[in-house]
Amino acid sequence: MGDTADHGHIATNGKAELNLDDLALLHGGFAHFMLEISERATRCYQAAQAKNARVARHQLSELTKTLRLSVMVRPQYSEAMERFISGDLAKVSRAITDADWDHFEEIWQAFTAAVNDRHEEFDHGYLVWRVPKQAPSDLDMRRPQT
C-alpha cells in the first residue's frame, strides 16, 4: 500500500477540489463530536425530566452512536469509551427503559460525575460538564399523546 497522502481521490463541491486528507481536516476532530454529545445528553436528560421515554431513548441512542464514532478520530479513548458506554451510560438507559423516574435524577448525577471523571482522566479536568437548566426551545419535550 502506498502513502495515504499520495492517493488520487479528489472530491469537488463545484468550487474547490479536496483530497481525502483535506476532507478529514474539515471534520474538526474530537471536539466536533463533543458538541453533539453534549447536546444529545442535554436533550436526553430534559426528555427524561418530562417523563418522555420515547424522546429520551432516541436522544440516548444518538448519543451512544456519536460516542462510538468519536473514537475514530481519537482511538486512544476507545477502551475508556466502551467502558463508559457499557457502565455509566447503560445505567441511564435502564432507568429510561424501566421508566424509573423516581431514581433518574440520582442516576443522572452519577452519570454526570462519570463524564467529568473521564475529563479528569484524560487531562481535560478544566472541562466540567453540566446539563443546562432550560430545555432546548426547538424540541417539545412533553409526552406525546398516544
Query: Do the domain assignments include residue 60?
Result: yes
Query: Do the domain assignments include residue 15?
Result: no
| pLDDT score recorded for residue 67 | 96
Tell me the pLDDT tens digit for each residue of 23-75.
777 777 888 899 999 999 999 999 999 999 999 999 999 999 999 999 988 99
List the grid coordinates of 108.
443522572
The single-letter code of the amino acid at 106 is E
Query: Do the domain assignments include residue 68?
Result: yes
Query: Do the domain assignments include residue 10?
Result: no
Q: Are 109 and 13 in contact (CB under 8 A)?
A: no
Query: Do the domain assignments include residue 128?
Result: no
Tell me the pLDDT tens digit for each residue of 92-130.
999 999 999 999 999 999 999 999 999 999 999 999 999
Structural domains counted in the chain: 1
pTM of the model: 0.82
* Domain enclosing residue 108, as ranges: 30-121
